[in-house]
């Protein structure tokens, strides 16, 4: 039987919180970005596309470091957020932000594929039938891209569960505050005799990821049926 | 319909311009592919914005570059039936049909869904998913969806292209019946002269992005005689046939026509090539042609070495195509009495016009 320490339980809860937070925050933004990339004909599109995809090709540590520079005490946004009493670095918000930025390109990519698969003429048809832009978005575009949005959310959630590099730089490795499962495993592997504890958390990680995948598949199937 | 249009649009190297004002209830837009027919449809419905000009429908300005008016598609109340039905795949037939209806203000809802569903014969399909419909059924649902939005004008962009011949002539009666019943003006876009003749009375001819001319659909069909390999096809709407030995006899005005093909109890639509009608000065003694009609010449029209002779056969009109030399030899002029011989096998059945 797996014996988990209170610290491990904290790490599991933190992981779930970070993954949920990152997924919820990025879903509307990811949809907007994907919509822009799928439908816009602006010349600046490829530049914006490159920017969005950057975290996908950069090492997460680099992303974390850049975020640290941006949100740190002497960074560009740090003092600004401090004035509204929001601290990013070495906090749970930091862990959420790091995961969100790293997973964002994956989510956008998944949603964009779904949006590009929609027949444009269906969107035009709804406009000529009297539906405005928002009406069309809510009744045609969103339902038709629902499965892609779900796939994007699943990718985001899974990526957040596994996020390590950017998180450790931006949010640190503080047990009970920012120590998620991967960071806790990292700590155990650096401790003599911690192998067994690390393996326990690995198992939890596998079960968690597997559950998310199964859930997402089940929802996707029921969406397809309707 | 009172549609006034004067617009220009540049799209890369393609230049589109059109200026016309329409009053007829059913008008066609005719031209080869790439002539700007679909561009016109997009500009009128608001899916594309002109560079300059003005569009007004029934006294309401939809677009005016000078006044800075450009109503979005959802406010124009111009219905569009696309070439492919483009039904919403995540909704069943009923929700597709009612999509526009639900977005129409109560005061503008002059068409009852039940009545239209009856006209289009869609009752048995209402709860079906749109992916389980045949091509003809899809097009009927698309038509119903557009009509139920109670538009002030319906644009049809090649709604029959892509359907097989048989299906085409099954849909046309539905189209006509729905538009007649609910009194909706139609702008029918097509490159098929035959569809144009069945659906419209007047046509705007487009070529290379510009409106070239405007004429009655009948004259458009007659001008087809001037093109290489082109001819004129008579469209005959015949009543219920009666079997006579091994042929079929159809009533047609005061005359009876003998055909090799049978038909349905309702109206039957046949096509007869003007070149398949042979004219005789006197009644021939014996001929293999089963139809000998005594008619008078109502008039002639000519293109190059082809002459169309318009015949009055007991109140019905028929056009025969002959060469100028025959006109001289037979002494054909308005009022000449003449006999038209038509073989029973010359008639090509398009389809039953009965709503099935």
Using a CB-CB cut-off of 8 Å, the residues of chain B touching A139 are 99
Global ipTM: 0.80
- pLDDT tier, A132 (very low <50, low <70, confident <90, very high otherwise): very high
Domain boundaries, chain A: 6-39+51-225
The pLDDT of residue A67 is 93
Site from B99, B101, B105, B146 to mutate, A interface, most A CB atoms within 10 angstroms: B99
8 Å CB contact of A135 and B74: yes
Using a CB-CB cut-off of 8 Å, the residues of chain B touching A124 are 47, 73, 80, 82, 86
The pLDDT of residue B351 is 66
The pLDDT of residue A65 is 94
pLDDT at B138 over 50: yes
Distances in whole angstroms, Cα of residue B91 to Cα of each of A65, A139, B98: 48, 10, 10
The pLDDT of residue B356 is 35
Interfacial A residues in 96-135 facing B (CB < 8 Å): 119, 121-122, 124-133, 135
Answer whether B96 touches A (CB < 8 Å).
Answer: no
Answer whether A24 touches B (CB < 8 Å).
Answer: no
Answer whether B99 touches A (CB < 8 Å).
Answer: yes
- pLDDT tier, B102 (very low <50, low <70, confident <90, very high otherwise): very high
pLDDT at B163 over 80: no
Q: How many residues comprise chain B?
A: 356
Q: Quote the mean pLDDT of chain B.
A: 88
Shortest CA distance from A135: residue in chain B: B103
Q: What's the rounded mean pLDDT across residues A2-8?
A: 84
The pLDDT of residue B158 is 87
Q: What's the rounded mean pLDDT across residues B99-107?
A: 92
Distance from CA of B331 to the nearest CA of A (A): 57
pLDDT at B165 over 90: no
State the Rg of chain B over Cα: 23
pLDDT at A87 over 90: no
CATH code at A6-39+51-225: 1.10.3720.10
Q: Which residue among B45, B88, B90 places its CB closest to the CB of A128?
A: B45
pLDDT at A207 over 80: yes
* Tokens matching residue B57: 């429908």
For A160-210, the three-class secondary structure string (H helix, E strand, C coil) is: HHHCCHHHHHHCCCCCCCCCCHHHHHHHHHCCCCCHHHHHHHHHHHHHHHH
The pLDDT of residue B28 is 92
Answer whether B80 touches A (CB < 8 Å).
Answer: yes
Answer whether A1 touches B (CB < 8 Å).
Answer: no
Domains of chain B from N-terminus onward? 3-226 (3.40.50.300), 233-352 (2.40.50.100)
- pLDDT tier, A226 (very low <50, low <70, confident <90, very high otherwise): low
pLDDT at B267 over 80: no
pLDDT at B239 over 90: no
pLDDT tens for each residue of B186-222: 999 988 888 888 889 999 999 888 888 899 988 888 8
pLDDT at B263 over 90: no
The pLDDT of residue A1 is 54
């Amino acid at each position: 039987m797996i014996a988990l320490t209170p610290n491990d339980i904290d790490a599991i809860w933190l992981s779930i919180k970070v993954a949920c937070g990152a997924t919820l925050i990025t879903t509307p933004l990811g949809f907007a970005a994907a919509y822009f990339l799928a439908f816009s004909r602006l010349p600046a599109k490829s530049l914006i596309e490159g920017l969005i995809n950057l975290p996908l090709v950069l090492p997460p540590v680099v992303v974390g470091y850049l975020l640290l520079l941006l949100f740190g005490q002497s960074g560009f946004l740090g003092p600004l957020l401090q004035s509204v009493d929001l601290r990013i670095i070495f906090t749970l918000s930091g862990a959420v932000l790091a995961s969100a930025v790293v997973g964002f390109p994956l989510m956008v990519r998944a949603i964009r594929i779904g949006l590009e698969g929609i027949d444009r003429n269906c969107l035009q048809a709804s406009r000529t039938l009297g539906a405005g832009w928002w009406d069309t978005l809510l009744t045609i575009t969103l339902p038709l891209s629902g499965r892609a949005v779900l796939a994007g959310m699943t990718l985001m959630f899974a990526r957040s569960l596994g996020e390590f590099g950017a998180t450790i730089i931006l949010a640190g490795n503080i047990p009970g505050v920012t120590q998620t499962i991967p960071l806790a495993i990292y700590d155990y592997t650096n401790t003599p005799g911690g192998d067994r504890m690390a393996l326990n958390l690995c198992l939890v990680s596998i079960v968690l990821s597997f559950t998310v995948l199964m859930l997402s598949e089940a929802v996707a199937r029921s969406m397809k049926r309707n | 319909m009172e549609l006034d249009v004067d617009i220009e649009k540049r799209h890369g190297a393609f230049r589109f311009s059109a200026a016309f004002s329409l009053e007829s209830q059913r008008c066609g837009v005719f031209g080869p592919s790439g002539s700007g027919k679909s561009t016109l449809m997009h500009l009128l419905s608001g899916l594309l914005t002109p560079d300059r000009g003005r569009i007004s429908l029934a006294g309401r300005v939809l677009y005016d570059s000078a006044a800075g008016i450009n109503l979005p598609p959802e406010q124009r109340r111009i219905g569009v039936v696309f070439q492919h039905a483009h039904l919403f795949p995540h909704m069943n037939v009923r929700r597709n049909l009612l999509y526009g209806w639900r977005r129409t203000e109560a005061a503008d809802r002059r068409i009852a869904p039940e009545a239209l569903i009856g006209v289009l014969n869609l009752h048995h399909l209402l709860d079906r998913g749109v992916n389980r419909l045949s091509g003809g059924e899809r097009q009927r649902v698309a038509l119903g969806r557009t009509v139920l939005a109670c538009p002030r004008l319906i644009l049809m962009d090649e709604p029959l292209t892509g359907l097989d011949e048989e299906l085409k002539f099954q849909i046309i009666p539905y189209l006509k019946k729905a538009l007649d019943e609910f009194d909706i003006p139609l702008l029918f876009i097509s490159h098929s002269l035959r569809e144009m003749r069945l659906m419209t009375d007047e046509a705007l001819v487009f070529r290379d992005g510009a409106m070239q001319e405007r004429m009655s659909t009948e004259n458009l069909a007659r001008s087809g005689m001037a093109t290489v390999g082109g001819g004129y096809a008579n469209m005959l709407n015949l009543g219920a046939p009666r079997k006579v030995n091994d042929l079929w006899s159809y009533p047609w005005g005061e005359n009876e026509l003998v055909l090799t093909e049978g038909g349905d109890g309702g109206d039957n639509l046949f096509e007869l090539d003007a070149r398949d009608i042979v004219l005789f000065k006197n009644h021939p003694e014996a001929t293999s042609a089963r139809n000998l009609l005594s008619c008078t010449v109502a008039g002639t029209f000519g293109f190059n070495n082809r002459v169309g002779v318009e015949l009055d056969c007991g109140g019905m009109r028929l056009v025969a195509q002959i060469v100028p030399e025959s006109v001289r030899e037979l002494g054909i002029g308005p009022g000449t009495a003449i006999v038209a011989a038509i073989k029973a096998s010359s008639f090509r059945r398009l389809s039953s016009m009965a709503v099935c």
